[in-house]
Amino acid sequence: MFRPIISALLVVIIVAGAVSAQEAERVVVLTHDSFAMTEEVLAAFEEHTGLRVEILRSGDAGQMVNQAILSKNNPLGDVLYGVDNTFLSRALEAEIFAPYESPELQYVNADFIPDDTYRVTPVDFGDVCLNYDIAYFEENDLSLPGSLSDLLLPKYGGLLVAENPATSSPGLAFLLATVAEYGVEGDFTYLDYWQELYDNDILVVDGWTDAYYGEFKVAGRDTGSRPMVVSYASSPPAEVLYSENPDVGAITGAIVDDNMCFRQIEYAGVLAGAANEGAARQFVDFMLSPAFQEELPLNMFVFPVRDDIMLPEVFAKHALIPENPAHVDPAEIEAKRDEWIQAWMEVMLR
Amino acid sequence: MRRARELSICIYGIPLAFLGVFFVYPLLSILDVSLRPAGALDLSGFASLLSTDYYLGTLIFTVYQAVISTVFTLLLATPCAFVFARYRFRGRSLLLSLATLPFVLPTVVVALAFASLLGKNGLLNDVMSSLFSLDYTLIQLERTLAMIIIVHVFYNFAVALRIMTSYWSSVGIAVEEAARCLGADERALWREIRLPLIRPAMLSAGALVFIFSFTSFGVILILGGIRFATLEVQIYYQAVNMFNLPLAAALSLVQILSMMAMMMLYTSTQKRLHLAIASSRTIARRARTGLERLAVGCCVALVSGLTLAPLLALVSRSVLASGRLDFSNYASLTEKSRGSLLFIAPLDSVFNSLRFALMAMIAALILGMIASYLIQRPGRLARLADPLFMLPLATSAVTLGFGFIIALDEPPLNLRASWLIIPISHTLVALPFVIRSVLPSLRAIPPSLREAARVLGAKPLDTLLTIDLPLLGRGLVVGATFAFTVSMGEFGASLFVAQREWVTIPVVIYRLIGDPGMASYRQSLAMSVVLMLVCAGGFIVIERLRIAGVGEF
């Protein structure tokens, strides 16, 4: 007979324990699942400003932008961080941002700033490019592909695994690199290129995790069978950093020749109608501050947009940054993304 | 008399109100925004649905793979359920609990487990090629429909097994004994008595398995590859990647309506089937003849092979590093990794998960019990209520997620970033499990039992406590187990929460798996094993609670 009472008490205790402490003034950051930042850096910001930072992770980048658009009349947060150039136009067209020109922008390479309306502020960038298993190429005395067309050579047949652009952000980035290289009109379009990649036995899987951990073959790991994968330029240093014996050095490399990579730039913006617009601006400044920028590589494996930041040793040693990544205009991406992916699917998924 | 009536309306209203506020309202809001974007009705989504036969193909494939998955699951689970209900053997309840474990694992982890078991370089291929010195890969299931079906069976086997076992244990054996006296042989017993008797539970379990396979998302994406797309995958793709909300809403409606139709069909067959013959007398005994022993042996082998082999492959992967035993990844779970990613040490997420699972379980049990009584009543409302409570399972998570964001955004229901969204959404998903576990047993309680009690002067509450609860005990345990498991393994809603301390175990696993490097990959395996252990512990406690709480006569 006491059981219901005990259960009721239990519920009260649980609920009481779960209710958070009294509300400080807060800044809510709407971001994607991959957000990560050193806690001390956030704590320093909180102490300095008296704000409490709340991180609202909202699915992948696409999901986050859609949620921000849907909740535009009553924003989910104060500041959005993590929209990249493949989704930027969608966010800008929906007018979810309030313009803000951060004074810290003077330290940022002007190439990263999309326009002079300052609706979004660049924070970091990363390049999607091919990674390879160093041991495989050495053992088989194989040279590295130096261009996208090289991948069509028979000697690279059956070696590459890529991601589906419909379901994966690096997959889309790689598709965009081929669109930039071969175009959508003429004798040999990006679709012809993919047709030949298909004939050369490329494997396409749905997500990065599946490609990288499931199909990519790396010396010393018992999974996967393909020595080339579509991944990030920052994957090789990350591989060193988190390998079980970092002393061995790099076991994978990135191929960063001209037009073989696609650059993803991530932006932040103050959400229009935010409950705490002042705090949102402070947070944008904070994201461009050296303290935050320095921590980007080791937290999210992306590079700072400020040009006066020293990279961590493992990145300085093992990371390659492509000099000439492929470029597609964000407005064109938003307008044509669906069409390009649908056409790609018809070629690849027959 | 009128007061009693008002009271009963109030009580029955609780689960309906819950469903109305946290499911129907958000769903209608998002459909409204999607289909009337500028105030005028926009049916372009439906137009593009009908303009090609591509989406018809998707619908047919979705139904097709769900039917196959359900048939195979029931084919395997029915004989096992009989053996588990009728025979006592060592390790029986342990095995039943272990069989439930797959249900808690995130799809990514299950994909890993199956890759390490059935993949090209997997355990089974290794064993086969060394045994028979093959020079080719024997098992090539990657990205085939067969792989999808195997994993669906792996996920859903326990649902069917546990619901049918609990029901079979509670239907009386007297009818069978009578038939045997009249000269019925084994075959006649199966045809005339056992199968007809188990049919309500079989259909109940089958309905759940079907819905689960119908709305399968992660399994299809990760294991099936891109050639296979279910409606759920299409909805996600249209809503998230294309932001084509009219089309996503049209697809969601197709999915919901087809599920609704299935459920109506199912409910109408179910009504005619039930026989009131409950008994809480335990009928399990030891296997005596050689044939019986063989049946038990086969069952144990099947359950272990199907559920334990992939789990063991996972465990062995988590403790083996380049051929040696290594537990450093487990040790590092207590540290706040790099002080950054998760804001808490991975192991602290265990307490968060337990807390939410407990809340969801209690809520789902209470609401589910009331809902079951409501559904079991005669009348039109009851007929509608049954499919209604199943709908959250049939609704695309993305659709509902967007619905939450636009509907629950004003006080007093500003839940968008609150931790409350976790137990609430878990309860929504857990409710159908409680109902499906309890309902067959509830319908099997002969009305004469309650009437007799009432005649003898028992108050309604006494009848509930002394007649219904003991008879529903097994069903309640199964419902509680699944409610707990659903909550422990759920991932999507847990991400919505702003307070960064409220990270749950599956969120930790996803974060670790997405991080580069072998170390975090192995940590994610270790964390998956922790998730299984915590759940197994939870199962044991739930079993204990039953013995202490309602007990058996």
Radius of gyration for chain B, computed over Cα atoms and rounded to the nearest angstrom: 24
Residue B64, burial from CB neighbour count under 10 angstroms (0-12, 13-18, 19+): exposed
* More confident position, A99 or A11: A99
**From-to residues of CATH 3.40.190.10 in chain A:** 22-125+264-318, 126-262+323-348
Instruction: Give kind and range of the element (H or E) at residue B71.
Output: helix B54-86
Query: Does the pLDDT at position B492 exceed 80?
Result: no
Closest by Cα among A256, A228, A234 to A325: A256
**Whole-number pLDDT of residue B226:** 61
Query: Does the pLDDT at position A20 exceed 50?
Result: no
Query: Does the pLDDT at position B335 exceed 90?
Result: no
- Domains identified in chain B, total number: 1
Query: Does the pLDDT at position B517 exceed 70?
Result: no
Average pLDDT over residues B498-508: 74
CA distance to partner chain B, nearest, from residue A1 (Å): 9
Chain B interface mutation, best of A242, A296, A341, highest count of B Cβ atoms under 10 Å: A242
**Three-class secondary structure of residue B32 per DSSP:** helix
| Cβ distance of B341 and A36 shorter than 8 Å | yes
**Whole-number pLDDT of residue B425:** 87
Kindly identify which residue of chain A lies nearest to residue B119, measuring between CA atoms.
Answer: A223
Q: How confident is the model at residue A2 (pLDDT cuts 50, 70, 90)?
A: very low
**Whole-number pLDDT of residue B131:** 81
Among A33, A56, A241, the residue with its CB nearest the CB of B498 is: A56
CA distances (Å), origin A336, targets A90, A237, A342, B37, B246 = 12, 34, 10, 22, 19
Determine contact: B23 vs chain A, CB below 8 A: no
Q: Please list every residue in chain B whose beta carbon sits closer than 8 Å to the beta carbon of residue A71.
A: 405-406, 409, 416
- Enter the DSSP assignment of A185: S
CA distance to partner chain B, nearest, from residue A16 (Å): 12
**Whole-number pLDDT of residue B417:** 67
Label residue A252 left, alpha or beta by phi (over 0 means left) and psi (-120 to 50 means alpha).
beta
**Three-class secondary structure of residue A249 per DSSP:** coil
Query: Does the pLDDT at position B279 exceed 70?
Result: no
CA distance A67 to A61: 10
**Whole-number pLDDT of residue B489:** 85
* Strand extents, DSSP E, chain A: 26-31, 52-57, 79-84, 97-98, 121-133, 160-163, 203-205, 228-232, 252-255, 262-271, 303-304
| Cβ distance of A71 and B343 shorter than 8 Å | no
Average pLDDT over residues A25-43: 87
Sign of CA pseudo-dihedral B466, B470, B471, B476: positive
Q: Residue A57: what are its φ and ψ, rounded to 5°?
A: -80, 125
Q: CATH fold of A22-125+264-318, please?
A: D-Maltodextrin-Binding Protein; domain 2 (3.40.190)
CA distance B91 to B192: 31
Of the candidate ranges A196-210, A279-293, B452-466, B497-511, the one whose mean pLDDT is the lowest: B497-511
| Cβ distance of A223 and B121 shorter than 8 Å | yes
Read off the amino acid at residue B220: I
Radius of gyration for chain A, computed over Cα atoms and rounded to the nearest angstrom: 22
CB pairs under 8 A between A and B: 152
Of the candidate ranges A115-119, A138-142, A165-169, the one whose mean pLDDT is the lowest: A165-169
Instruction: Give kind and range of the element (H or E) at residue B114.
Output: helix B107-118
Q: What is the dihedral of CA B51, B54, B55, B61, to 10 degrees?
A: 160
| Cβ distance of A242 and B516 shorter than 8 Å | yes
Average pLDDT, chain A: 88
Average pLDDT over residues A221-227: 81
CA distance A103 to B188: 86
Closest by Cα among B359, B494, B409, B381 to B26: B409
Judge contact between A54 and B498, C-beta under 8 A. yes
Per-residue pLDDT tens digits for A288-330: 999 999 999 988 889 999 989 999 999 998 999 999 999 899 8
Query: Does the pLDDT at position A10 exceed 60?
Result: no
Average pLDDT over residues A216-236: 87
Of the candidate ranges B74-88, B227-241, B491-505, the one whose mean pLDDT is the lowest: B491-505
* More confident position, A219 or B491: A219
CA distance B217 to B212: 9
CA distance B479 to B524: 29
Evaluate whether the domain defined by A126-262+323-348 bears CATH number 3.40.50.300: no
| Cβ distance of A206 and B225 shorter than 8 Å | yes
Per-residue pLDDT tens digits for B238-275: 887 778 888 889 999 998 888 888 877 777 666 655 56
| Cβ distance of A90 and B108 shorter than 8 Å | no
* More confident position, B297 or B513: B297
Average pLDDT over residues A208-222: 81
Closest by Cα among B525, B476, B347, B353 to B426: B353
Determine contact: B52 vs chain A, CB below 8 A: no
In a domain, B328, yes or no: no
Determine contact: B519 vs chain A, CB below 8 A: yes
Q: What is the DSSP string of B130-159?
A: HHTT-SS-S---TTSHHHHHHHHHHHHHHH
**Whole-number pLDDT of residue B340:** 44
Closest by Cα among B394, B107, B393, B403 to B239: B403
Kindly identify which residue of chain B lies nearest to residue A13, measuring between CA atoms.
Answer: B355
**Whole-number pLDDT of residue B467:** 80
Determine contact: B284 vs chain A, CB below 8 A: no
Chain B interface mutation, best of A34, A70, A169, A349, highest count of B Cβ atoms under 10 Å: A70
CA distance to partner chain A, nearest, from residue B458 (Å): 16
Q: Which tokens is B85 given?
A: 């209900």
Q: To 10 degrees, what angle do helices B245-273 and B44-51 make?
A: 80
Determine contact: B341 vs chain A, CB below 8 A: yes
| Cβ distance of B495 and A58 shorter than 8 Å | yes
CA distance to partner chain B, nearest, from residue A31 (Å): 10
Window 92-151 of B: residues touching A by CB (8 A cutoff) are 108, 111-112, 115-116, 119-121
Q: To 10 degrees, what angle do helices B349-376 and B380-394 make?
A: 150
Judge contact between A50 and A311, C-beta under 8 A. no
In a domain, B49, yes or no: no
Per-residue pLDDT tens digits for B41-52: 888 888 888 887
Q: What is the dihedral of CA B473, B479, B484, B485, to 10 degrees?
A: 130
Query: Does the pLDDT at position A199 exceed 80?
Result: yes
**Whole-number pLDDT of residue A19:** 44
Among B226, B409, B514, the residue with its CB nearest the CB of A209 is: B514
| Cβ distance of A66 and B240 shorter than 8 Å | yes
Q: How confident is the model at residue B387 (pLDDT cuts 50, 70, 90)?
A: confident
In a domain, B248, yes or no: yes
Judge contact between B421 and B497, C-beta under 8 A. yes
**Whole-number pLDDT of residue B500:** 60
Closest by Cα among A233, A250, A78 to A170: A233
**Whole-number pLDDT of residue A238:** 86
**Three-class secondary structure of residue A132 per DSSP:** strand
Per-residue pLDDT tens digits for B161-212: 988 988 888 776 777 888 888 888 888 888 888 888 888 888 888 988 998 8
| Cβ distance of A3 and B549 shorter than 8 Å | yes
| Cβ distance of A298 and B221 shorter than 8 Å | no
CA distances (Å), origin B301, targets B295, B305, B308 = 10, 6, 10
Average pLDDT, chain B: 82
Judge contact between A233 and A322, C-beta under 8 A. yes
CA distance to partner chain B, nearest, from residue A205 (Å): 6
**Whole-number pLDDT of residue B225:** 63
- Enter the DSSP assignment of A96: -
Matching residue, tokens 């499911």: B23
Determine contact: B416 vs chain A, CB below 8 A: yes
**Three-class secondary structure of residue A54 per DSSP:** strand
Q: Which residue range(s) make up the domain with B240?
A: 2-37+55-318+333-549
Q: Please list every residue in chain B whose beta carbon sits closer than 8 Å to the beta carbon of residue A213.
A: 112, 513, 521
Per-residue pLDDT tens digits for A264-288: 999 999 999 999 999 999 999 999 9
**Whole-number pLDDT of residue A21:** 41
Judge contact between B521 and B390, C-beta under 8 A. no
Chain A interface mutation, best of B340, B502, B521, B522, highest count of A Cβ atoms under 10 Å: B340
**Whole-number pLDDT of residue B280:** 53
Determine contact: B402 vs chain A, CB below 8 A: yes
Determine contact: B415 vs chain A, CB below 8 A: no
Query: Does the pLDDT at position A233 exceed 90?
Result: yes
Of the candidate ranges B99-113, B264-278, B452-466, B476-490, the one whose mean pLDDT is the lowest: B264-278
Q: Please list every residue in chain A whose beta carbon sits closer than 8 Å to the beta carbon of residue B222.
A: 206-207, 210
CATH of residue B115? 1.10.3720.10
Q: How confident is the model at residue B53 (pLDDT cuts 50, 70, 90)?
A: confident
Judge contact between A156 and A147, C-beta under 8 A. no
Kindly identify which residue of chain B lies nearest to residue A165, measuring between CA atoms.
Answer: B241
Determine contact: B510 vs chain A, CB below 8 A: yes
| Cβ distance of A167 and B237 shorter than 8 Å | yes
In a domain, B48, yes or no: no
**Whole-number pLDDT of residue B242:** 78
Judge contact between A349 and A267, C-beta under 8 A. no
CA distance B496 to B492: 7
Q: Strand A228-232 relative to strand A121-133: parallel, antiparallel, unpaired?
A: antiparallel
CA distance A42 to A299: 13
CA distance B537 to B340: 30
Report how far apart the first and last C-alpha atoms of chain B are (Å, whole number): 33
| Cβ distance of B419 and A76 shorter than 8 Å | no
Per-residue pLDDT tens digits for A89-138: 889 999 999 999 999 999 998 989 988 899 999 999 999 999 999 999 99
**Whole-number pLDDT of residue B281:** 58
**Neighbour count for residue B204 (Cβ, 10 Å):** 25
Per-residue pLDDT tens digits for B346-385: 888 899 899 999 999 999 999 999 999 998 887 777 778 8
CA distance A297 to B110: 30
Instruction: Give kind and range of the element (H or E) at residue B235.
Output: helix B231-236
